[in-house]
A = this chain, B = another copy of it.
Amino acid sequence: MNTEEKIFNAARIVFQKKGFAGTRMQEIADEAGINKAMLHYCFKNKQLLFEAVFMNAFSQLAPQINAIFNSDETVFEKITRFTHSYISFVLLNPFLPPFVIQEMNNNPEFVKTFFKNKNTPDPSQLIDQIKKEIALGIIKPVNPKQLVLDIFAMTVFPFAAQMMVKGILHVSDSEFNQMMEERKTTIAEQIINSIKK
């Protein structure tokens, strides 16, 4: 692993744990086991290092999601596949959703430019497909955007609000993971069941 990779991984760990504002460049350097000046040598400044980490996080998720959203499967198949593979992925990267959500909420102006230029999840094709399947009588008449929001809510929320969920439901880390394993299949069944005619 070269220095740039060491820095990047260290930055990912620290940024995802403490957020942009809470992160100290020195802490990243310590985590990487190198001198602080190397951070600036390799990534210019804190903002650019952060953006590299943030973009990378998003670019891990976006293609996976879009591949599912834009495939030629049915809506039901897409819902099943999305929830399953998203939860599988996030169980391996549990800090990702809170990180992305937090930094988006804290940098609203950055979000606007971000969603115009970059490779982002785009459910517009799925939304069109939902409209079609409603017209065909496969799906009950629902607001397609609300349906997409429901799918994200059911899959992403438990990870986004991890600490609060564990606190309120009084579940341990392992119980939490077990619940998420269960959700891999139950969420899709539930959503499909509530919209199929």
Max count, chain B CB within 10 A of own CB: residue among A20, A105, A121, A168: A105
Majority SS at the chain A contact face: helix
Determine whether the beta carbon of B22 is less than 8 Å from that of A161: no
Which residues of chain B are near A161, meaning CB under 8 Å? 101, 104-105, 152, 156-157, 160
| A44 beta carbon closer than 8 Å to chain B | no
| A34 beta carbon closer than 8 Å to chain B | no
Q: How far is the CB of A51 from chain B (nearest CB, A)?
A: 16
Determine whether the beta carbon of B104 is less than 8 Å from that of A167: yes
| A91 beta carbon closer than 8 Å to chain B | no
Determine whether the beta carbon of A154 is less than 8 Å from that of B145: no
**Copies held by the complex:** 2
Which residues of chain B are near A17, meaning CB under 8 Å? 106
Q: Count chain A residues whose beta carbon lies closer than 8 angstroms to a beta carbon of B.
A: 54
A20 to B19, CA, bound (A): 11
Determine whether the beta carbon of B106 is less than 8 Å from that of A22: yes
List A residues at the B interface (Cβ < 8 Å).
17-22, 98, 100-102, 104-106, 108, 111-112, 114-115, 120-124, 143, 145-146, 148-150, 152-154, 156-158, 160-171, 179, 182-183, 186, 190, 193-194
| Known A111-B166, A157-B161, A160-B161; 14 more pairs at CB < 8 Å | A18-B21, A20-B22, A22-B22, A100-B164, A111-B163, A120-B168, A122-B168, A123-B169, A143-B179, A146-B186, A148-B169, A149-B157, A149-B158, A153-B154
